[in-house]
Structure 1
Amino acid sequence: MTANIKKISLAFGSTGTEFEIPERNLASAILPSEFEIKEDRASLIKKALENPIKSRRLSEIVNPDSKVAIIVSDVTRPTPTAKLLPPLLDELYLGGVKDENITIVFALGLHRNQTEEESRKLVGEEVYKKIRCIQHDRKRCRHLGETSFGTPVEVFEEVADSDVIISTGTLEFHYYAGYSGGGKSVLPGVSSEKSIISYHSFYSKLFEGDPLSGRTDSPARQNIEEAARIAGLNFILNVVLNSKKEIVAAVAGDFIEAHRKGVEVVDSMYKVPVEPADAAIVSCGGFPKDINLFQATKSLENAVFAVKKGGVIVLVAECTEGIGNKVYERWSTECKTPDEAIQKFRKCFEFGGHKAATVGRAAKTFKLYLVSKLPDTESRNTFFTPVKSVEEALEKIFSENPDAKVHVMPNGGWTLPIMK
């Protein structure tokens, strides 16, 4: 009977997908704790800039001769940069800074370059016309020192040569750094390939330890913050988004203290107590979090906490740009089994290979299905079983266990299940 069937919509790329599930099989929808914001988003940002945490106002830090670098997120991140920049620029103007002394730098890390259209859309047409916008070049970096973890601090020279460095970004969970935001825009955001690989190489040492997502005390976060201090990061403006990608909180000021205040908001919204179920259906939350499999696996890493050992995870990720990393793609063809990927990762770190090992680790504990636009061969090579739809995955789950309880995670990239 239709009364016993629940229809559920999930984000898939820039559109969406729907499926039906018997209500008796639906354990829960794992959703963030949304809260109402009565003031407009521009006011939230302005208020954060006027009341910085453990810092002077930005307008008091700069002077009319200051050369300013503003680091912004690239196209793989959901940061609403076009909304952050106008109030941020107004604060700089209040301090006397001129447009010609400001440079906006897209933090690419090891990601691909953006198109001009993507860059223009990210910062907004008006800003793009009047402010110099450039992309991070990991081959043009200056050595500034070394962290206590042995990571060389090599920063894009356009940033290193600035008098004032400002970072913008979104605060959310991160599988390795604990959370995004803060100094992460410096390392790995605008660092050299050598620095980025050194930073990521610690993951092989921490890979089989306690989960790092949702923690601020991990070596990775400490490494990030040492590098940011050496680079001279002066000020951050970070925001927290709700499931509709709307700004619900903004923090500004010291790159550690302001970051931690934002983390408190993230935890209150996105850490969700759950009882592990037999299966979970997880959407990344749509574009850009499911732009490729490299990004989409971050949602898989959150979903594992919602499922019993031996259970099933169905990852719903469009992946229009394929696997998204050449090393990940190569490892996926070279490593025929999850164990091979894990053993290879233990012996030698290679950026991109860590994704093969991470998915391999999940595949040893759970049955993994993938609803995507990837060719079936690529899905299988990455240790997923390809399915055309969520319904097909559910048929397979219920054929083995008609009473299976299933969690649904519409915002897997944002939500971190915590065991009750």
Structure 2
Amino acid sequence: LEDGGINRDRIRILIATGMHRPNLGEELRQMVGDYVFNNYEILNHYSRREKDMEIVDEIEGTPIGINRVYLEAELKILTGLIEPHFYAGFSGGRKSIVPGISSFETMKFMHSFSMIDHPNVRNCLLDGNPFHEYALRITEKVGADFILNVVIDRYRRISGIFSGHFNRAHILGCKMVEEYATVRLNKRVDMVISSGGGYPLDATFYQISKALICARDILKKGGTIVILCECREGFGSREFINVLRSASSPEEFYERYSDPKKFVIDQWCAQNIFQAIEHAGSIYVYSPNLSEEDLGHLGIKKIENIQDTLDRLIPEHEDIVVIPEGPYVVGMVQDS
């Protein structure tokens, strides 16, 4: 950009935090590198700062707000990673805008109970996926001049670079991810053994919802799920823990949180966990950092000895799928 004639003091980097906490201090330095950290203006997006937002659209009665810093820019460039995403189909592209730099009210709509409950809001599906289609609509509305998205391999090395038009380049990246990160199955299975994907993806149980949903999508009703994860930071945010502890069954959760007026932060991942609990007959979790009491409240069985548990479960199940990479690999049943 500087070589093209844009002065450094006219370049701003806006971190698309969505509803997550800001990236500050040494964490930010590690994320962007010393040179960028020391030489460019870097801003975090705060979804709850109404003064930072401008209404750009209305969808189903919800005002859609986007960060003014982005809207006021003469040249808008999006960066991101393309991988399977259990709501948007794939991450990257339009997701830098929604939910990346959207208002809290927009987030409430995009992560509402009804949105997460939609059958087409799922991994590796774009056509007919309302999460994707609404995010694309909003991105078209606010504009994006260029994207630079990457695809990485299992060793976190860049294996594909997709740049250009915010939708066309993104679609090409999604096709690459689908080719290498999905496995077609001709039927659902009796048991799925998976992982949280390793650090940092399995830092909290909040993120394990992704592995549970991937397992649920290829599991027979009443089947068994086994998840191995570290969860070095425990369950996750205080809001997420409160949501999980407020219900002890899928029915209780649905009754409490299906009303959009009762929306709370992090209910969407809790919703996914209860969806998996409702579908599976049994869920087993190995994690040295999660208590038997907290898992038991959800009806999840805590594993103390992995090998002993697998030695007991494997003979009881006929069709078994093992997914060492966890949610980085998506199984897709042909009839779905």
Distance in 1 separating the partners of 2:146 and 2:305: 45
Query: Hey, what does 1:103 align to over in structure 2?
Result: 12
TM-score by length of 2: 0.89
Query: Hey, what does 2:163 align to over in structure 1?
Result: 252
Query: Hey, what does 1:188 align to over in structure 2?
Result: 99
User: What amino acid maps onto 2:252 in structure 1?
Assistant: E
Query: Hey, what does 2:2 align to over in structure 1?
Result: 93
Cα distance, 1:357 vs. partner?
Answer: 2.4
Query: Hey, what does 1:174 align to over in structure 2?
Result: 85
Cα separation, partners in 2 of 1:390 and 1:404, compared to 1, 3 Å: farther
1:269-308 aligned within 5 A: 269-274=180-185, 275-308=187-220
What secondary structure, in the 3-state scheme, does the structure 2 residue paired with 1:114 have? coil
Cα distance, 1:336 vs. partner?
Answer: 1.5
What secondary structure, in the 3-state scheme, does the structure 1 residue paired with 2:224 have? strand
User: What amino acid maps onto 1:418 in structure 2?
Assistant: M
Contact conserved, 1:182 with 1:236, CA < 8 A, in 2?
yes
Query: Hey, what does 1:390 align to over in structure 2?
Result: 306
Q: Which runs of 5+ in 1 are unaligned?
A: 1-91
Cα separation, partners in 2 of 1:225 and 1:150, compared to 1, 3 Å: farther
Cα separation, partners in 2 of 1:396 and 1:353, compared to 1, 3 Å: farther
Query: Hey, what does 1:118 align to over in structure 2?
Result: 27
Distance in 2 separating the partners of 1:324 and 1:131: 32
Query: Hey, what does 1:375 align to over in structure 2?
Result: 291
Distance in 2 separating the partners of 1:392 and 1:340: 33
Contact conserved, 1:289 with 1:413, CA < 8 A, in 2?
no
Cα separation, partners in 2 of 1:206 and 1:120, compared to 1, 3 Å: closer
Cα separation, partners in 2 of 1:211 and 1:135, compared to 1, 3 Å: closer
Query: Hey, what does 1:409 align to over in structure 2?
Result: 323
Matching residue within 136, 142, 156 for 2:67: 156
Distance in 1 separating the partners of 2:115 and 2:217: 21
What secondary structure, in the 3-state scheme, does the structure 2 residue paired with 1:239 have? strand
Query: Hey, what does 1:328 align to over in structure 2?
Result: 240
Matching residue within 240, 257, 270 for 1:356: 270
Q: Which runs of 5+ in 2 are unaligned?
A: none
Cα distance, 1:233 vs. partner?
Answer: 2.2
User: What amino acid maps onto 2:145 in structure 1?
Assistant: N
Contact conserved, 1:345 with 1:354, CA < 8 A, in 2?
no
Contact conserved, 1:156 with 1:192, CA < 8 A, in 2?
yes
Distance in 2 separating the partners of 1:228 and 1:211: 18
Cα separation, partners in 2 of 1:219 and 1:384, compared to 1, 3 Å: same
Matching residue within 194, 201, 209 for 2:119: 209
TM-score by length of 1: 0.72
What secondary structure, in the 3-state scheme, does the structure 2 residue paired with 1:236 have? strand
- Aligned pair count? 326
User: What amino acid maps onto 2:114 in structure 1?
Assistant: S
User: What amino acid maps onto 2:174 in structure 1?
Assistant: V
Distance in 2 separating the partners of 1:113 and 1:287: 20
Cα distance, 1:397 vs. partner?
Answer: 1.6
Cα distance, 1:159 vs. partner?
Answer: 2.1
Distance in 2 separating the partners of 1:136 and 1:291: 23
Cα distance, 1:358 vs. partner?
Answer: 1.9
Highest relative contact order (Cα 8 Å, sep 6+), 1 or 2? 1
Cα distance, 1:206 vs. partner?
Answer: 5.5
Distance in 1 separating the partners of 2:243 and 2:134: 27
Distance in 1 separating the partners of 2:146 and 2:189: 42
Cα distance, 1:335 vs. partner?
Answer: 0.5
Cα separation, partners in 2 of 1:141 and 1:393, compared to 1, 3 Å: farther
Quote the sequence identity (%).
28
Structure 1 stretches of at least 4 aligned residues deviating more than 4 Å after TM superposition: 402-405
Cα separation, partners in 2 of 1:306 and 1:338, compared to 1, 3 Å: same
Distance in 1 separating the partners of 2:228 and 2:119: 27
User: What amino acid maps onto 2:22 in structure 1?
Assistant: N
Distance in 2 separating the partners of 1:329 and 1:245: 30
What secondary structure, in the 3-state scheme, does the structure 2 residue paired with 1:108 have? coil
Contact conserved, 1:299 with 1:412, CA < 8 A, in 2?
yes
Distance in 2 separating the partners of 1:302 and 1:205: 18
Matching residue within 144, 155, 159 for 2:55: 144
Contact conserved, 1:282 with 1:315, CA < 8 A, in 2?
yes
Distance in 2 separating the partners of 1:236 and 1:384: 42
